[in-house]
Structures are given as C-alpha cells and as structure tokens.
Chain A
Amino acid sequence: MMDSSVKIINEWDIVAARQLGRNVAKELGFGTVDQARITTAISELARNIYLYAGQGEITIEKIENEAKKGIIIISRDAGPGISDLRKVMEDGFSTSGGLGAGLPGVKRLMDEFSIESDPRKGTLIQSVKWLR
C-alpha cells in the first residue's frame, strides 16, 4: 500500500498536493473527468488548510475493499477548528464570498465524505472516490 503526504504551508503546496493526487488517480485508472474532480477536491481541502488553519497536511492513499478500489484524501490540521459544522456544510455558505466550492463541493465531487472538528485539536476530513 502506497502512502504519501504533502505538508501545506504555502500556496504552492496546494499544487504539490494536486500533483500527488493526480498521479495516484492516474495509476488507479481514473478517467480525465474524475481526475479533475479529485484534484479539485484536493485543492479545496488544501486551500482551506492554507487559508484558515495556517498549516496542515494532505495525505493521499489508495484504498481497496472486497469489491472495489479507490482513492482517499485525508486532510489534517491543528487549526482553530470549525465551530458550526452544519453551517459550513450548507450550500451557499462558503461560495457566497467567492472562495470556491466549499466543503459541500468536495462532498459532491467525491463519493464519501466525513469531517471531525474540535476547536482545540483542529480538523480532520476524509473523503473517498471509488473507481467504477
């Protein structure tokens, strides 16, 4: 099993995270449209770290269960956390400021999405896309 991470500190690290995600997605056999979706999701998560947490890490892994293969993006930071998860998962909340797709966008681009956030510990987001 392959496992690799990119530390997100400045904006260029977003590009590195995308590159890593694209390589893994390509190796798995995702088509160009899905590759674009996966990298857009990675951008969004990495940009959230860069903008709101200051620093953190994006980990990309291949995953597999009995029936299918896929890619998982894990976004981890020790930032201020999100106090109102319901609010950030609402459509129109983050996009209204023109900041991008927001977390609902990531959720739509991927197949699975989970978020844990604690104001003291930061935020952990995991999102999976399965290969069809």
Chain B
Amino acid sequence: MDFRDAMLDNYKEILKTYISDQTEQALYLSEKFSRKLLECKVSPEEMISLHKTSVMELEPDLPESLLLSLDILLEVMMAYGLAYREHQSLRTIQRELINEIEVAASMQQTLLGTKIPSLSFLDIGAISVPAKQMSGDYYHFVSHENGAISVAIADIIGKGIPAALCMSMIKYSMDSMPDDSQAPGDVLERLNRVVEQNVDPTMFITMFSGLYYPENHTFHYSSAGHEPGFFYNGEKGTFEELKAKGLLLGVDKKAKYNEYERKVEVGDAILLMSDGVTECRTEDGFLEVDTLIGYIEKYIELGAQDIADKVYKELEYLQDFQLRDDFTLIILKRMA
C-alpha cells in the first residue's frame, strides 16, 4: 500500500527528529500529521499500528513489554475508532438533511409566493425574512374583480418546519376562498374553521385580514389575535395602533371576528407586521414601540418597498444580524 508506506515514512521521520532532539518543530510536524490523518480518514487503531511499526523499525532493541503495551492501547482505541466512524457517517447524514431543508425552503418560497399588486392609488411594499430556513410567517395579496385589494398577514406560533407545513395549508385555504367572500371577518371565520379541523391543537395561528376599497378609500380589517398594525396619519404625522379584537385561529370553531373600518386619505399609510418585528430583541431587551415608530417615521416619505427594506435593515442591525423570529412587514401607502 503506497499510502500507508508514505504515511509510515513521514511518521518515522517525525519520530526520529523528536527522539534525537526534542524540538518544537517536530511537535508542530506531528500536529500537521494528525490533521492529515483526519483528512485521509485514518482511524485511531490504524494510527497506533503505524506507531508500533515505526518504533520497532527505529528502535529495534526496545523491551518487549513496551511493544506489548501497544497492543493494549490499540484494543482500547477500538471504541474511539468506532465513534469516529459513526461521527463521519452522522456528518454525512447531517449534510443530507441540510440539503433537504434547503430544497424545502426554496419550495416554500415558490409555494407561498404572492404578487404585490401594482396600483396607481396605493403604493404597496412587503418584506418577509425567515429566522431559520423556513418561515412561519405568511402574507398574501389578492386583487378582486371589483377592484378591491385584499391583504392578509399570518404568523404561526412556533417556528421552523412544523410552522412552514402549517403555512402551506393556510395558503391553499386562502387560494380556494371564493371571490365573493372578501370581507375580512368572513375570511378569518372560514380559515378558523379550516385550522380548527386540520391542525394539531397545540398549534395556533394569528392573522390579520384587510380589504381596501378604492372607490371610497376605506380600509376594512379584522384580526385573529394578531400583532396590531399601525395607521399613519400623513397630515398630522402621527401614528396610531390599528386595534382589533379577535381570538387566535384554531382555538374555537365558533369564533366570530368583528370588522373595523378606517378612512384612508392621500399620504396616509397602513403598516402591518408579524411579532418578529415588534418582539425583536436587542441587548437592552425588547424593542420599544417608539423606537420602531422612529424608524418608520425616518423613512415614511420614501416609497413603500423602500420603507419596508430600510426598516428591516435598521432592525437587523439593531439585533446584530441575528433574527430570533420570522420577520414580516407590509406597508400600504395611499398615493392618490
């Protein structure tokens, strides 16, 4: 075996150097040698055998007892060798799992994809970033035949793959919603029944559903325990919470959702978000609402998508680039 012979020569050289004069150089070479062993997947028992062969060749007069002790060492290292091989195979499995999750994540992006409507009277921007590879946040836009625009934002309590699987179900229930049931309260009531019937009782979903009527520029909305959004009054330059009461989806199949209404003037904006925005954590604790509003205010004159992107960048920076929860922010700004 060429490889073993090469390793043997290399190792003998290191041993010889060290035996003749105990230099750091030789110790450094053996460190490099051990890296090579791992690189070439040499197991500990093989290494001990290599050591024994080298010692016997270099020092033929060693006492028998010393050589025999190496047999025991070899036997003792067997379990380490097995653990080492197991580790290698687990690493392969881990890599496969990571690949699989990546495929699933990109599939989720395709599945949950929604088109942001492009309208003259309403500028819409949205950003959604998962904390892990797969997101438990979801948003959806629908342009109805009568010109109204539906917007929905949902957050699964929980993260990762289970949340992502659950989200796909919400997406398909939304897609199969008939065009005539646009009212936000109806949407939530329907989805609540779907969730209640199909989802594990330990999994809850919060959701905000809104509908924008362009003929009278009113925004109708209902909430199923979702993070309240903000209403920006462009004339006064003030922010106000979009309060709405409603039970989380999946708790009670008979839950009713009240509908609220808000008149939207030119320059006003509606901001919807998941709790990944408001519960973003910094070194000093949770993000203060005022801080968040401060960021939004700073960019409110920009286009809706720019506001969303810039606010995300600020909060990302604030959290040291470590998202703890899925982050979704939607901005609707009346232009005309």
Footprint of B on A, CB under 8 Å? 31-33, 36-37, 40, 91-92, 95, 100-101, 104-105, 108-109
Question: Chain B: interface residue count, which band?
Answer: 10 to 19
Determine if B75 is an interface residue (Cβ-Cβ < 8 Å): yes
Is the Cβ of B89 less than 8 Å from the Cβ of A32? no
Determine if B83 is an interface residue (Cβ-Cβ < 8 Å): yes
**A95 to B82, alpha carbons, bound, how many Å?**
10
Determine if B79 is an interface residue (Cβ-Cβ < 8 Å): yes
Q: Tell whether A32 pairs with B86 under 8 Å between CB atoms, given A40-B78, A91-B93.
A: no
Determine if B90 is an interface residue (Cβ-Cβ < 8 Å): yes
- Which residues of B are found within 8 Å of A37, using beta-carbon distances? 45, 78
Footprint of A on B, CB under 8 Å? 45-46, 49, 52, 71, 74-75, 78-79, 82-83, 85-86, 89-90, 93
Q: Which 7 A-B pairs have the closest CB atoms?
A: A101-B82, A105-B82, A33-B49, A40-B78, A108-B85, A91-B86, A33-B45
Is the Cβ of B74 less than 8 Å from the Cβ of A32? yes
- Which residues of A are found within 8 Å of B89, using beta-carbon distances? 91, 104, 108
Q: Tell whether A100 pairs with B45 under 8 Å between CB atoms, given A36-B74, A91-B93.
A: no
Is the Cβ of A32 less than 8 Å from the Cβ of B49? yes
- Which residues of A are found within 8 Å of B83, using beta-carbon distances? 95
Is the Cβ of B78 less than 8 Å from the Cβ of A92? no
Give min CB distance, B1 to chain A, whole Å. Answer: 9
- Picked from A31, A100, A104, the residue with its CB within 8 Å of the CB of B79 is A100
Q: Tell whether A36 pairs with B86 under 8 Å between CB atoms, given A91-B93, A101-B79.
A: no
**A31 to B74, alpha carbons, bound, how many Å?**
12
**A36 to B71, alpha carbons, bound, how many Å?**
9
**A101 to B89, alpha carbons, bound, how many Å?**
13
**A91 to B93, alpha carbons, bound, how many Å?**
10
Is the Cβ of B78 less than 8 Å from the Cβ of A36? yes
- Closest A-chain residue to B77, C-beta based? A36
Is the Cβ of A105 less than 8 Å from the Cβ of B74? no
Q: Tell whether A36 pairs with B79 under 8 Å between CB atoms, given A91-B89, A92-B90, A105-B86.
A: no
Is the Cβ of A36 less than 8 Å from the Cβ of B75? yes
- Closest A-chain residue to B93, C-beta based? A91
- Closest B-chain residue to A32, C-beta based? B49
Q: Tell whether A33 pairs with B82 under 8 Å between CB atoms, given A91-B89, A91-B90, A91-B93.
A: no
**A109 to B85, alpha carbons, bound, how many Å?**
9
- Closest B-chain residue to A106, C-beta based? B82
**A32 to B89, alpha carbons, bound, how many Å?**
25
Is the Cβ of A33 less than 8 Å from the Cβ of B93? no
Q: Tell whether A31 pairs with B49 under 8 Å between CB atoms, given A36-B75, A91-B89, A91-B90.
A: yes
Sample of 16 A–B contacts (CB below 8 Å): A32-B49, A32-B52, A33-B45, A33-B49, A33-B74, A36-B45, A36-B74, A36-B75, A91-B86, A92-B86, A92-B90, A101-B82, A104-B86, A104-B89, A108-B86, A109-B82
Give min CB distance, B68 to chain A, whole Å. Answer: 12
**A40 to B43, alpha carbons, bound, how many Å?**
14
- Closest A-chain residue to B49, C-beta based? A33
Given A32-B52, A108-B85, output 13 extra A-B contacts at Cβ < 8 Å.
A32-B74, A33-B46, A33-B74, A36-B45, A40-B78, A40-B82, A91-B86, A91-B93, A92-B86, A95-B83, A105-B85, A105-B86, A109-B82
Give min CB distance, A132 to chain B, whole Å. Answer: 9
**A40 to B82, alpha carbons, bound, how many Å?**
10
Is the Cβ of A32 less than 8 Å from the Cβ of B46? no
Give min CB distance, A69 to chain B, whole Å. Answer: 18
